[in-house]
Structure 1
Amino acid sequence: MAPLRVGYVREHFSSPLLQFEAVDKGNTFTLVECPSGTGQLISRLTNDEIDIAVALTDPLIAGIAKGSTAYKLVGSYVSTPLNWAVITGKETAYTSIQDLQNTKLGISRHGSGSQTMAYVMALQQGWPTDSLQFQVNNDIAGLIASVNDGSTSAFMWEWFTTKPFVDAGQARFIGSVPTPWPSWMIAAHPSPGRAPKEAVKTFLQGLTKYINSFNSEAGRAGANQEFIKEKFGYPLEDIEAWLLTVGYPDDCAVIPGDVIRNTLEVLQKAGAIQTPSSGGYQLEQFVDTEVANLS
């Protein structure tokens, strides 16, 4: 059996996954980096370039709600919210989120977390969501270039991932918007030919082991900090601050039904998805219950 192709974003959140991969050494899975984020992960699932994706909760759920059959949810990855920074150029006139109304926002891809959270930001600000304007800039480099050349006003990305660029004077923070849901989930293609159920279960069991170690008090106090510093080059103070905010599930193969319900409710209010004519969504359409436990 060929190893599972697991798509991921190379950020500090992926540390337990990277620790697992270092020991597995490609025997049961290989990692496929997707630097453009969840929009790229979903695209690669659709195009048979990966079998599993570790991706942001909201775009995954929104994609299924809009009719995608390229994947179903099979697990949970990060159980705490993601703090999305709102970032503008180093010399722009924007000083707060309120200044961004009726401007063009940068996103990595359509259907990405950067776009979904723009809808959430608009909902919080009381802006009409149907008038939001977007420009696709692919990755963090393109997004930073766009806010500095004036083609976009701002973009949204995870706080600690963008902090090194802000510290280097390439961009500025003007606010933040935490997600109203746990931030990361795991999805897999539903075809057994692409992602055999037992292989996915084995992957989730192995990942749970590394997550539990990473999430332990001992791991947070020592090994985690050194691993993140070596892999990502973050200052120790940023690593310590992030570790105080992040939490992981006890079992990756358990998906709380309330996470799906609450995410759908916010996405509907934000105008990111439409309520189906039948009057509601069925949780089973989102989860591969042959793999995951829907609680």
Structure 2
Amino acid sequence: MTNLKVGGVPEHFNYPWYLTLKNKEYSKQNINLRWQDYPGGTGQMCKALRNGEVDIAIVLTEGIIKDIAEGNPSKIVQTFVKTPLIWGIHVGSKSKFKTINDLENATIAISRFGSGSHLMAIVNAYNQGWDISKLKFKVIGNLQGGIDALTNGEADYFMWEHFTTKPLVDNGTFRRVDDCPTPWPCFVIAVRNEVLENDYDEVRKVLDIINNKTKDFKKISNIDEILAIRYEQKLEDIGQWLEITEWNDGKPITKNLTTRIQNKMVQFNVIQKKKDSSNFIRNMYN
């Protein structure tokens, strides 16, 4: 039995992993796969990959590319969700800020540096034509930290996935002033290099199982109702999310796409210079 640890955010994107684990599909392939929730998001998972606390991570594309560029000993083995992530831009319900233009000099709550909430705040600032060098950040750890920071005035706005935060908008904790979609496929699967060397065949089997599940995920009977209950979402919000979300069908991430994403990240001043795309990816289906 091969032991592998996989990590991801406790959000609806990763429900296919829950189903495959519940059905013991990995055990049938002699793989003891254990899931770990990372509510702190991609920055927290990048650290876990570096420390060897997790072997496989479902991370935001921009976060892992930045971290591999800075020495994370991991590779992207495939895209997981090929559509963009919709980031809601939120202020506290009693905030004086009304529009996105009001936020130019405001303090941004981020889960940690290098996380999606940090990098997408930079992308958003670039889109608005703001001076990126003047952005002010407050590290808050996770979604609950964002709620606290906006409620007590430690930070002014916070970017997090639109549908995950929708209940907080509905109940008046947050007010959403705008959305900012990622300019690339949002989630990829990253694996530590050591695991790719030692357990390549097992990683392949894991990918085959999860890709097989995501292929027909939307066809699962009452999947919208199941997700709405599990993630405490309105049925119409889950329906909208399912409509705009497409998982990958197992095709590897290409060097061309990795280069294009790096070009944008250099443009946004998120990474200093572009590196050879082969540093970032490992094609599992040669």
TM-score (structure 2 length as normaliser): 0.94
1:140 alignment counterpart: 143
Amino acid at match of 2:270: A
Residues 83-105 of structure 1: per-residue CA shift (max 9 Å, x gap): 00000111011111111112210
Alignment of 1:23-34 (within 5 A): 23-24=23-24, 27=27, 28=31, 29-34=33-38
2:237 is equivalent to residue 238 of structure 1: yes
Report the number of matched residues.
Answer: 282
Q: Helix, strand or coil: the match of 1:110?
A: coil
Change (3 A) 1:48 1:168: same
Letter paired with 1:14: N
8 A contact 1:52–1:195 mirrored in 2: no
2:189 maps to 1:186:
yes
Q: Does 1:59 align with 2:63?
A: yes
In structure 2, the residue matched to 1:162 is: 165
Q: How far does residue 25 in structure 1 lie from its aligned partner after superposition?
A: 6.8
Report the 3-state secondary structure (helix = DSSP H, G, I; strand = E; otherwise coil) of the residue aligned with 1:117. Answer: helix
Distance in 2 (CA, whole Å) between partners of 1:197 and 1:96 is: 49
SS in 2 for 1:238: helix
Query: Quick one: distance in 1 between partners of 2:51 and 2:222?
Result: 37
Shift of residue 70 of structure 1? 2.6
Cα distance in 2, alignment partners of residues 175 and 120 from structure 1:
14
Task: Tell me how large the CA RMSD over aligned residues is.
Answer: 1.7
Alignment check: 8 A CA contact 1:5 1:30 kept? yes
Counterpart check, 1:50 vs 2:44: no
Distance 1:110 1:292, change over 3 A: farther
Deviation at 1:239, TM superposition (A): 0.9
Quote the Cα distance in structure 2 between the aligned partners of 1:70 and 1:99.
40
- 1:53-91 CA distances to partner (integer Å, 9 max, x unpaired)? 0011110111122x2233111111001000000001110
Report percent identity of matched pairs: 33
Q: Does 2:115 align with 1:112?
A: yes
**Runs of 5+ consecutive residues of structure 1 not aligned to the other structure:** none
Aligned to 2:282: 288
Q: C-alpha separation between the residues in 2 aligned to 1:82 and 1:225?
A: 19
Match of 2:22 in 1: 22
Tell me the CA shift for residue 195 of structure 1: 5.9
Q: Shift in Å at residue 230 of structure 1?
A: 3.4
Correspondent of 2:266 among 265, 268, 271: 268
Q: What's the CA shift string for 1:146-196, capped at 9, x where partnerless?
A: 112111110100000000011111111011100000110000000148861
Is 2:139 aligned against 1:103? Answer: no
Aligned-partner Cα distance in 1 for 2:87–2:61: 13
State which of 183, 193, 211 in structure 1 corresponds to 2:214.
Answer: 211
Deviations 1:101-132 (A, max 9, x none): 12210000111000000110111011121221
Alpha-carbon distance in 2 for matches of 1:292, 1:146: 45
Verify the 8 A CA contact 1:7 1:34 in the aligned structure 2.
yes
Runs (5+) with no aligned partner, structure 2: none
Give the equivalent residue in structure 2 for 1:131: 134
SS at match of 2:194: coil
Secondary structure at 1:244 match in 2:
helix
Quote how far apart the aligned CAs of 1:140 are: 0.6
Q: Secondary structure at the residue paired with 1:176?
A: strand
- How far residue 26 of structure 1 moved from its aligned partner, in angstroms, is 6.6
Question: Shift of the alpha carbon at 1:285?
Answer: 0.4
Counterpart amino acid of 1:263?
I
Structure 1 SS opposite 2:216: helix
**Aligned in 2, Cα 1:113/1:52: closer, same or farther, shift over 3 Å?**
same
Structure 1 length-normalised TM: 0.91
User: Deviations 1:221-272 (Å, cap 9, x if unpaired)?
Assistant: x332133123212121111111111111121x51133331221111111111
Residue of structure 1 equivalent to 2:75: 72
* Secondary structure, counterpart of 1:19 in structure 2: helix
Question: Following the alignment from structure 1 to structure 2, what is the Cα–Cα distance between the partners of residues 55 and 159?
Answer: 17
Matched AA of 1:158: E
Between 1:253-262 and 1:159-168, the stretch displaced more is 253-262
In structure 2, C-alpha distance between the alignment counterparts of 1:195 and 1:101, rounded to whole Å: 48
